[in-house]
Structure 1
């Protein structure tokens, strides 16, 4: 077996055949004759020393060896795409690209200002920002699809090294005419006092929705979600329309209070104070553009903390 003989054209063809379930359809998408495609697959099987496909009348399916190659081929071709993008950026005068996967809380509250400051100081570095939930942000870094993940505490971080980014505080948001609105200006409420209301929530897979569900369950109750929406702005609009109350980061809701006639109520529970974390796979091996952005983001953290492997 001589894997150094693997070529990108054959790997790309192999992936297309897997995707279409047919050598002929894969060959068509690769703009190759069927005979030429079959020869490439045969040569690929000789190179790896095993059959990659089980051939049958309706197409092909992967063997165990084919499944193993497919996993690695996807990563190899993705890395080649990233390499092509990086080289294109260098040719255009951009000296680096950093891929950042971040939760909505960070995108809404903190990143616009932080990223604007970074780009002003490092005009040659491009940032690709993917807004996601906490779990997706962690997996993006673990899988190599992102250089830095930004997620909420309590998220299993799968061995990533983590650094503190920001802290935020969760508050209850209600329409101005709601019965709870009369409590504005009073002492903070305990969550148990609002847990029986209907809620407007982010999707269930988000860290905020999971935190609310867990805290409600700890009271022996079930969170009553009337509607799930995908953004803080949509949550505020639904609350303003009287579809329920919500729990949101305080800084994220402040711009909407007056325009949507909403009232913000403080909570006394300790869990409403959250820490947002930055995560990377290997702090010591970061490319320089990634290191520069990470240092910039950490510099704005409210307090320094040691690097920790999170699990």
Structure 2
């Protein structure tokens, strides 16, 4: 078995692009040279890695296996390089983060602004993903850090709790639920709901939790942000479920009321997921510390 890091990087780029020409361009190879390298890689592994078609390429089962291992190997090489950049090894490097909607929109911008201000050599790739995609990405090495809320399968991962995610019901002022201190979520389904956009973790969570209790039937409008949700709620179009941080921030400038949710799932712990905290590059470990420290300082 023989291959080098260029082979692995080429294969990962082709797999992610679903196109040999586009993948080859990422590592500055011509399509014929890239094709020859992939053929040699397949011969070395004695396995077909790609299905080739007129519309691009797709992975065989062997290709899926190689992709999983290649990502981990290449990330470890990146970590090794980052850890030998000098004594201030948390001052440079690249960290890829997959996170849920609340993290991406509510607290990560502020945390990253503070974190990056003193680390000009660090770059961040922050992407919004569904919870199951986040967990899978950490397991297969696609991402360095995952930020999730609630109960998850932590098998093979390290989960560092850093804060609490509380969900509240937002309603227009004057709504019949506005004077309630709390309400069972099932009792809100008699009213039309405003939800977050397709692909958001909150929408997926509520759908999965309440699909047999009429949430989908109650869902009238889906929007791209918590601010847009609150504006629609303020206008009296419906009611909606939001994270407490977003709900309280928008309540300061909008005519909405917040009501607690009785259901136990409304209070969820937030975790940073990693394959191994000790194997992270310095910048990754420093960012985990920043999240924990920020939470300890009172951010929820």
Change (3 A) 1:284 1:212: same
Larger radius of gyration: 1
Rounded to whole Å, the distance in 2 between the matches of 1:273 and 1:14 is 39
The aligned residue for residue 129 of structure 2 is 132
The aligned residue for residue 147 of structure 1 is 144
Change (3 A) 1:178 1:157: same
Which residues of 2 match residues 96-135 of structure 1 at below 5 A?
96-135=93-132
Change (3 A) 1:10 1:171: closer
Q: Does 1:277 align with 2:276?
A: no
> Secondary structure of the residue that 1:171 maps to in structure 2?
strand
- Where structure 2 has 5 or more consecutive residues not aligned to the other structure, the ranges are none
The aligned residue for residue 3 of structure 1 is 2
Q: What is the CA RMSD across the aligned residues, in angstroms?
A: 4.3
Rounded to whole Å, the distance in 2 between the matches of 1:10 and 1:267 is 49
1:280-299 deviation digits (Å, cap 9, x = unpaired): 01123222221111122123
Change (3 A) 1:174 1:14: closer
Rounded to whole Å, the distance in 1 between the matches of 2:172 and 2:69 is 49
- Mean CA deviation greater in 121-130 or 208-217: 208-217
Rounded to whole Å, the distance in 1 between the matches of 2:210 and 2:153 is 21
TM-superposed deviation, 1:194? 1.8
TM-superposed deviation, 1:255? 2.8
1:221-242 deviation digits (Å, cap 9, x = unpaired): 3212112333212322332343
1:217-264 deviation digits (Å, cap 9, x = unpaired): 6xx732121123332123223323433210111220223225442222
Change (3 A) 1:74 1:135: closer
Rounded to whole Å, the distance in 2 between the matches of 1:10 and 1:127 is 23
Rounded to whole Å, the distance in 1 between the matches of 2:171 and 2:233 is 6
TM-superposed deviation, 1:215? 5.3
Which residues of 2 match residues 15-164 of structure 1 at below 5 A?
19=18, 31=30, 43-44=40-41, 46-49=43-46, 68-69=62-63, 71-72=65-66, 76=70, 79=74, 83=78, 95-164=92-161
Which residues of 2 match residues 158-237 of structure 1 at below 5 A?
158-181=155-178, 183=179, 186-203=180-197, 206-213=200-207, 216=210, 221-223=213-215, 224-237=218-231
1:72-122 deviation digits (Å, cap 9, x = unpaired): 268648938x95xx78xx7xx962222222222123333233323323444
| Number of aligned residues | 282
8 Å contact from structure 1 (residues 160, 281) kept in 2:
yes
Change (3 A) 1:187 1:161: same
TM-score between the two structures when normalised by the length of structure 1: 0.70
- Where structure 1 has 5 or more consecutive residues not aligned to the other structure, the ranges are 304-311
TM-score between the two structures when normalised by the length of structure 2: 0.72
TM-superposed deviation, 1:50? 5.7
> Secondary structure of the residue that 2:114 maps to in structure 1?
helix
1:27-62 deviation digits (Å, cap 9, x = unpaired): xx9546x6x777666655554446668999x89988
Change (3 A) 1:293 1:51: closer
